[in-house]
Amino acid sequence: MSGGEPLLSIRDLAVEFRTEDGVVHAVDGISYDVLPGETLGIVGESGSGKSVSTMALLGLIPQPPGRIVSGTAMFKGIDLLKMGRKELRRFRGDEVAMVFQDPMTSLNPVLKVGYQLGEAIKTHYPKESDDTVAKRVIGLLRLVGVPNPDVRANQYPHEFSGGMRQRAMIAMSIANSPSLLIADEPTTALDVTIQAQVLEVLKTVQEETQAATILITHDLGIVAEMCERVIVMYAGRIVEAGDVHTIFRAPRHPYTIGLMDSLPKLTEDEEWLRPIPGSPPSLINRPPGCAFHPRCFLTQGRPRCREEVPELREAEGTGHRAACHFSDELVGHQSKFSEPAAV
């Protein structure tokens, strides 16, 4: 399924926003790859830069007040960040598609659902006959599990439930069989039971199209279920990156450990929940050095954390990378989620 030349290769991407309170450094020099057909998770709190980094790819960041400061994003040999608006449009919805968070407001309320799906197809393939498009729309709706797709296609968004709308959005995104699908917190706005259904739909869709997927979420459970590799972001930087199994078993960054520890484990008794102390940093006045140090249990006040931004490098014995000066001290630390037997 995965392996080989990366489909998408991002290097040193930096995005900032000018606001009345100052310049917000939303993304501060991140680099990662996406291999064809794989599912990559991006995890982080709100404000970590996870959505901005992908919206920058598609040129969806409003350029004032936003600004892509630096970086390249090589997709099939072309730098998306350097492309003009017209050319970028050819990719949007065709090769690279995006599913957004809030299904309630992501569909135009005055147009029929079938029409909006058809629009996605006709924009890129205007020569297709109306009949073909209609059939494909119904087929797509059926694929994502919308019952009575032929009737539903003629309805308006407000006649769909939240979960169905998200399915329709997913259908719309894969209408042109994209090579890369970006799903930005697709289930956050939905009930837990619907979440499970929508994730199933995503899996089905992936199997059908063999598309690579970037799944952005703050929910580690979703990452565990859906992703092969994962990137953890904090304050606009990548703090840990690697494949899902090793990261879950042996996290090497205090933030990742904190994230996992804050989840209650259903199979054991715990007296207290363990949140990460403090609050997310201001992106205008980011803490100097390692952005996480004010909340970190590993720092022990050591000046290096305050002075030097840690590099994302190979963490010993795991095969994944972490950005912590003292990640070696975490060797031997088993996370909550490690399997009891030796791996």
Partner 1 sequence: MVSYITRRILYSIPVLVASSFISFVFVSLAGDPLANLRANPRTNSPQILNHLKHVYHLDQSVFVRYWYWVESVFTQKLGVSLLTSQPIWPDITRALGHTLQIVLLAQVIALFLGVAVGIFSAIRQYSVFDYTFTTVSFLGYAMPTFWLALILQIIFVDIYLKWHVRIFYTSGLNSGVISSTWSLDRLQHIALPVITLTVVSFALYSRYMRASMLDVINSDYVRTARAKGLPERLVIFRHVFRNALIPIVTVSALQFGALLGGAIVTETIFTLDGMGYYFLNRLQASDVYAVMAYLMIVAISVITFNLIADVLYGFLDPRIRYD
Partner 2 sequence: MTEPTTSIDVAPPAALVDGIPAGIQLDSIAAQGLELKARSQWSYARRRFLRHKLAMIGLFGLVVIFGAGAAANYVAPYTFDQIDLTNVLHAPSSVGHHFFGTDEIGRDYLSRVIYGIRTSEQVGLVVAVVSSIFGLIFGAIAGYYRGWVDNLMMRVTDLVLTLPVLVTLLTVAALLGGGSQWTITFILVGFFWTPIARVVRGVFLSLREKEYVEAARAVGAGDFRIMFRHMLPNTLGPVIVNGTLAVADAIITEAFLSFLGEGIKPPTPSLGSLVAGGQQYPQKWWLSVLPGLVLVLIVICVNFVGDGLRDALDPQQRRVRA
Binding mask 91-120 for partner 1 (x = CB under 8 A): xxxx--xx-x-x--xxxxxxx-------xx
**Tokens linked to 88:** 């970028």
| Binding partner of residue 156 among partner 2, partner 1, none, CB cut-off 5 to 8 Å per kind | partner 1
By CB under 8 A, tell whether 269 contacts partner 2. Answer: no
Look-up: residue for tokens 């996992």? 260
Q: Which stretch binds partner 2 (CB under 8 A): 5-13, 132-140, 151-159, 293-301?
A: 293-301
Q: Is 6 helix (H, G, I), strand (E, B) or coil?
A: coil
Contact status, residue 90 vs residue 124, Cβ threshold 8 Å: yes
CB of 120 to partner 1, least distance (A): 5
Q: What is the dihedral of CA 168, 169, 171, 177, to 10 degrees?
A: 170
- Measured in whole angstroms, the distance separating CA 218 from the mean position of its chain's CA atoms is 9
In sequence order, the 6+-apart residues with CB closer than 8 A to the CB of 280 are 45, 46, 47, 48, 235
Contact status, residue 49 vs residue 235, Cβ threshold 8 Å: yes
| Binding partner of residue 275 among partner 2, partner 1, none, CB cut-off 5 to 8 Å per kind | partner 2
Binds partner 2 (CB under 8 A): choice among 6, 37, 44, 71: 44
Please give the residues from 131 up to 160 whose contact with partner 1 meets the rule CB under 8 A: 156, 158
- Tell me, by CB under 8 A, how many residues bind partner 1: 29
Give the amino acid at 100.
Answer: F
Distance CA 62, CA 233 (A): 22
CB of 115 to partner 2, least distance (A): 27
For residue 92, the 8-state DSSP code is: B
Q: Which stretch binds partner 2 (CB under 8 A): 147-155, 168-176, 295-303, 312-320?
A: 295-303
| Binding partner of residue 183 among partner 2, partner 1, none, CB cut-off 5 to 8 Å per kind | none
By CB under 8 A, tell whether 234 contacts partner 1. Answer: no
CB of 23 to partner 1, least distance (A): 19
Q: Which of 12, 6, 7 is CA-nearest to residue 68?
A: 12
By CB under 8 A, tell whether 19 contacts partner 1. Answer: no
CA 198 to each of CA 164, 165, 178: distance values in angstroms, whole numbers, following the listed order: 9, 10, 19
By CB under 8 A, tell whether 90 contacts partner 1. Answer: yes
Distance CA 121, CA 237 (A): 36
Q: Is 11 helix (H, G, I), strand (E, B) or coil?
A: strand
What backbone torsions phi and psi does residue 4 show, to the nearest 5 degrees? 100, -155
Helix axes 113-124, 162-173, angle to 10 degrees: 10
By CB under 8 A, tell whether 287 contacts partner 2. Answer: yes
| Binding partner of residue 214 among partner 2, partner 1, none, CB cut-off 5 to 8 Å per kind | none
By CB under 8 A, tell whether 43 contacts partner 1. Answer: no
Nearer to partner 2 by C-beta: 48 or 318?
Answer: 48
CB of 65 to partner 1, least distance (A): 11
| Binding partner of residue 332 among partner 2, partner 1, none, CB cut-off 5 to 8 Å per kind | partner 2
Provide the binding-site residues for partner 2, judged by CB under 8 A: 17, 19-20, 24, 26, 44-52, 65, 236, 257, 261, 271-272, 274-278, 281-283, 285, 287, 293-295, 297-298, 300-301, 306, 332-334
